[in-house]
Amino acid sequence: MKVHRPEAVVFLGDLECSLPLDTILRPILGLTEIRYIHGNHDTDQRSYWHNLHGSSFADRSLHGRVVEIAGHRIAGLGGTFESQIWLPGSPDTGIQNYGDFLERLALKPLHEDIVATKKQHALSAIYPDDYFTLAMEKADILVCHEAPSCHPYGYSEIDDLAQAMGARMVVHGHHHDSLDYRSKWPRLGFEAYGVAFRSIMAIDGSVIS
């Protein structure tokens, strides 16, 4: 049986870690480079977020960063657009970052449990500060949780970000499907791929499993 051993692996979010990420991946440590972005379901439970960002792998997050990995400049944008934070096409909330959200939340008379829940879920939202900071960078590949506009539930803002960064490829998670976007590539100006539920995709877009 042929063993596929890549130089690097990038997780596209919704890991929902029941244990610290470094513990889960201990069997392959040292064999390959590990990077990740978070998804919206990574805040479904407080432990998920802690196990992702509270482990020794916290510095492996690609969110809001561009890192050279296996010879490619890869940018990461974790999370999803949320109406309470920033939903393209909806009225501007005036919230630019998580700090702004916390300040706005502090002004609302809500039960302590509700406040804690809102704080938790807001961690996995896309914030304008993160988005526009990335837009000033250059990258070969953009990995994101949200999909570009070629997906039925995607956003043109992801297209705009990839184009601003000069990315030749966008790879997304979130919808857990793998639609054929090839006819849309000329319009987009980049190759786009979705990675299906529990699937593994190679750098050339081929499905490994």
Q: What is the pLDDT of residue 1?
A: 45
Helices assigned H by DSSP within 37-193:
46-53, 98-106, 112-122, 128-134, 156-165, 185-188
Q: What is the pLDDT of residue 31?
A: 66
Q: How far is CA 177 from CA 124, 151, 181, 209, in A?
A: 20, 10, 12, 13
18 inside domain: no
Pairing assessment for the beta strands 141-144 and 169-172 based on DSSP bridges? parallel
111 inside domain: yes
Q: What is the pLDDT of residue 111?
A: 73
Residues 175-201, mean pLDDT to the nearest whole number: 95
Q: What is the pLDDT of residue 89?
A: 92
Q: Give the mean pLDDT of the chain.
A: 93
Number of domains in the chain: 1
pTM exceeding the 0.85 threshold for the entire prediction? yes
124-181 per-position pLDDT tens digit: 999 999 999 999 999 999 999 999 999 999 999 999 999 999 999 999 999 999 999 9
Q: Among 6-10, 25-29, 38-42, which range has the highest average pLDDT?
A: 38-42
Residues 78-87, mean pLDDT to the nearest whole number: 96
Question: Which 8-state DSSP code applies to residue 67?
Answer: E
* 183 vs 16: CA distance, rounded Å: 33
Domain containing 120 equals 63-194
Q: What is the pLDDT of residue 112?
A: 79
Share of the chain above pLDDT 70, in %: 97
Partners of residue 171 on adjacent β-strands? 143, 193
Higher pLDDT, 77 or 114: 77
* 169 vs 106: CA distance, rounded Å: 40
- Indicate whether 116 pLDDT > 90: no
123 inside domain: yes
- Indicate whether 83 pLDDT > 70: yes
- A 10 A CB-CB count for 166 gives 14
200 inside domain: no
Residues 71-87, mean pLDDT to the nearest whole number: 96
107 inside domain: yes
